[in-house]
Structure 1
Amino acid sequence: MTNNTNKTELEVKAREWLSERGVTVQDIADLVYYLQSKYHDDLNMDTCQHNVNQVLKKREVQNAILTGIQLDKLAEQNKLDQPLQKTIEIDESLYGIDEIVAFSIVNVYGSIGFTNYGYIDKQKPGILEHLNDKSTGECHTFLDDIVGAIAAAASSRLAHATADDELVDD
């Protein structure tokens, strides 16, 4: 654990690497709002951010973030062997390993995350549009899927919490 917070060293590093790659908790919370606002009349950004922060506390999520970002960075630096270098560099559509890493995040909060992830991965709103822009010179083959998966997991967490609240009220 770090001295001044409840965050582990792994969580601190995962959050730091997201930030270095231009992704904020707010960016991901915006995606959660995009996914869930039509289902929750009183949804606000604080709730979205809270759910993102809870997802980011999970070790599986932290490991996926660090692994994916490391591979993206190595591809940017042209440090992977061929044919993997080209495959990751161009985000080859039949590669699929980037989605498998994302599924490890989505799976943390149940099957509803898969539908949320599939939808947001096709729509590419907000930060996902930027991360998919190949003209920037940056490689985000893994990161775009990881960010979408974090948003999908946070949305699933929110949906489960809401369903649990509804059950209690009955």
Structure 2
Amino acid sequence: MRKRVHSRETEAAAKALIKERGVTIEDIAEIVFEMQSPYVEDLSMADCTESVEAVLTKREIQHAVLVGVELDKLAEQGKLSEPLQSIVETDEGLFGVDETIALGAVFGYGSIAVTTFGHLDKQKFGIIEKLDTKEGKGVHTFLDDLIASIAANASSRLAHRLRDREEALDKEEREKRDKEERIG
């Protein structure tokens, strides 16, 4: 019987791969901050980092990272069959499998995540731009899109959580006002 892999193990592996590829949680949190700060006046980097960490606990994200980074690494080693080797190694413009995997990992966080992913895929903020430039060594055909996916998910998660907090405060204020009116 094959070993069942615990989600803690896949989470640790996904985080290790991201770090091994030169990306930090803070790099991703900076993108989240850039995406959300125009809408949230008191947004902190700690909020953004927490949201990135939470997104990385999701199996869909972990699995996408494991598959995508593995393909990038195999391409660096020249171990993919042709023509896939050349396509992945050069991040061929019409190759959309990298975006497809990353986009598939976005769907769990709703339409905000989907549109944010599309924006990040086009605009290439922060570490995404560095990974996408194809300068230096390393193949990051999948990684740049996966980082965009993580950042988009974390941005969407954060936007929803902040709205939930606002609504909870609004409810508390209404209840307090109603109570004061009944007493007064």
Query: What TM-score results when the alignment is normalised by the length of structure 1?
Result: 0.93
Superposition misfits of 4+ residues, deviation over 6 angstroms: none
Asked whether 1:29 is paired with 2:29, we answer yes
Shift of 1:162: 1.6
Alignment of 1:95-134 (within 5 A): 95-134=95-134
116-125 or 44-53, larger mean C-alpha shift: 116-125
Shift of 1:107: 1.0
Shift of 1:76: 0.6
The answer for the alignment partner of 1:81 in structure 2 is 81
The separation in 1 between residues aligned to 2:121 and 2:34, in whole angstroms, is 12
Shift of 1:18: 0.5
Shift of 1:24: 0.6
Is the 8 Å Cα contact of residues 26 and 49 (structure 1) preserved in structure 2?
Answer: yes
**1:18-47 CA-partner distances (Å, limit 9, x unpaired):** 000001100000010011110000001000
Letter in 2 for 1:17: L
Letter in 2 for 1:52: V
Larger Rg: 2
User: Which structure 2 residue ranges, 5 or more long, are not aligned?
Assistant: 1-6, 172-184
Percent of residue pairs identical: 51
The separation in 2 between residues aligned to 1:73 and 1:44, in whole angstroms, is 34
The separation in 1 between residues aligned to 2:167 and 2:42, in whole angstroms, is 18
Query: What TM-score results when the alignment is normalised by the length of structure 2?
Result: 0.86
Shift of 1:137: 2.2
The separation in 1 between residues aligned to 2:126 and 2:60, in whole angstroms, is 24
The separation in 2 between residues aligned to 1:159 and 1:12, in whole angstroms, is 26
Letter in 1 for 2:134: K
Alignment of 1:1-170 (within 5 A): 8-168=8-168, 169-170=170-171
Q: CA-atom RMSD, angstroms?
A: 1.1
User: Which structure 1 residue ranges, 5 or more long, are not aligned?
Assistant: 1-6
The separation in 1 between residues aligned to 2:120 and 2:100, in whole angstroms, is 16
The separation in 2 between residues aligned to 1:125 and 1:100, in whole angstroms, is 19
**1:147-170 CA-partner distances (Å, limit 9, x unpaired):** 011000000001111222233224
**1:1-30 CA-partner distances (Å, limit 9, x unpaired):** xxxxxx701111110110000011000000
Shift of 1:145: 0.1
The answer for the alignment partner of 2:181 in structure 1 is none
